[in-house]
Amino acid sequence: MIDLAKPFMAFLPEIEIPYENLPFDEKVVFTLTTALIYLFSQFPLAGISKESVAVKDPIFFLRGVFAAEPKTLLEFGIFPPVATALILQLLAGFKTIKVNFNQRTDRELFQTLTKVISIATYAILANIFIASGYYGENLSLMAKLLINAQLIGAGFFITLLVEVVDKGHGFASGSMSIVAISLSTSLVDDLFGIQQFPVDQEGHTEPRGAIINLLQGLRAKHKTFTGAIVNAFQRDYLPNLTSGLLVIVIGAAICYLQNVRNELSIRSTKARGMTNIYPIKLLYTGGLSVLFSYSLLFYIHILAFAVIQLIGGNKDGSIINKLFGGYQATEFFYVPRFPLSLLAPPTSLAALITQPLSLITFPAFLIVTGVWFATNWQDISGSSARDVGKQFKEQDVALAGHRDASKEWIRIIPVASATGAAALAALVSVGELLGLKGKAAGIVVAVTSVFAILEIVTVEFQQNGSQSTIAQMLGGRVA
């Protein structure tokens, strides 16, 4: 399958791997700049209808995980490169796609194939949304071409932007950096954003930030003291304090889970008396399991949207709507109906009461897919019990008090992978079922990404001899 990418290698741009290890400060600059460029790319799309359209956002609860902003250049965020990379690596690990990663040619073909499929995914998604009427009905051919050019061009740029960090110019993964900074700024905006939005026919406005809204509401003449507090905690058309506090609580829970680990005593088989600690974290695969589950949800809901909207026209009583459920249009969203709603979080507690089955089906989907991914990923990524045992044997390191450490690795690592994925899925499910509309999954992926990046940054900083101009500027000590 990777041979399909050969015709594209001649003209598809590629980010080159650095010829030598880049300085620590340069990697910091590349990582931050890449994420900031992504944030500043939220330009509104040109050529779309200025009037309100009947077709609303069908993927509103999936956007937070992939840093996607509706009706901007970042319409589909980093979903195509992330989902494509995860799925192709799984297929390569299962030997469905034959790739020899020890050969440079195969690696290059695999990377090119990932890039081609990612860009093709942007093109397919763009045309599904255009044909559905999401950007307006009766668009001219020029408007459709213009929207295609913007979304596909932005997707191509995002793919290269992610590749800059992935190829070693920055720390960890480009997708991790983008999600971490995007979700952090989004949380600050949800709490302290000052942008004003009209909320009624009388011309009253409210700020986006929940805390700013509370302060402004307490001073507003058209609101009572009690009404201002209730509005700050319960409004559903803009971020509220309840969702903000829930996101902070979930973030704190992830920080706690990151520190849950099983510390194993290891010793050198050559140098007597040399012992150390090797930690096995509960979140062994990090937030990748949540990313995988939400990638599957994205594919499922986009496919359902294409069938319901493009083929069935989302008409009540049609055969397609009876099979897939159709959508109920609200002011901002397309809320799926039963049975599609079984794989979507409720928009509120009232919606959960009317559709109680989603209390079981949605968490079950996240847990089953997350545990399956984590169990297989630790085998594919070279971090399985067998791989860790092999690395320790090559480095003449053994577990203290164990003659054969293989059984101990098998007892701990697979359990940590599966349990950690299940814990993250359960945490995401609780947040989403309480009406966070994708923010629970987003904060889980963001916090786990931040910890993964910090671990790599700390290791490289120490290996660099703690020499950093940026650290000196921030008040850090130089060793």
Residue 88: which of 380, 448, 444, 460 has the closest Cα? Answer: 380
pLDDT of residue 436: 87
The band of 445, judged by pLDDT with boundaries at 50, 70 and 90, is very high
What is the rounded distance in angstroms from the CA atom of residue 321 to the CA atom of residue 337?
9
Tokens (6 digits) for 190: 């949800």
Reported as a pLDDT band with limits 50, 70 and 90, residue 161 is very high
Q: What CA–CA distance (Å, rounded) separates 243 from 314?
A: 31
Q: What is the pLDDT of residue 479?
A: 41
**Percentage, residues of the chain above pLDDT 90:** 44
Give the whole-angstrom CA distance, residue 221 versus residue 215: 13
Mean pLDDT of 42-48: 92
The pLDDT value recorded for residue 399 is: 77
Give the residue-averaged pLDDT of 219-235: 86
**Prediction pTM value:** 0.91
Q: Which of 235-244, 417-426, 458-467 has the lowest mean pLDDT?
A: 458-467
Measured N-to-C along each axis, helices 358-380 and 406-433 cross at an angle, to the nearest 10 degrees, of 150
pLDDT confidence band for 468 (50 / 70 / 90) = low
Residue 235 pLDDT level (bands cut at 50, 70, 90): confident
For residue range 181-219, list pLDDT tens digits in order: 998 898 899 999 888 888 777 778 888 899 999 998 888
- 76 pLDDT more than 70: yes
For residue 478, pLDDT over 60 is answered with no
Rounded mean pLDDT of the chain? Answer: 88
Q: What is the pLDDT of residue 236?
A: 79
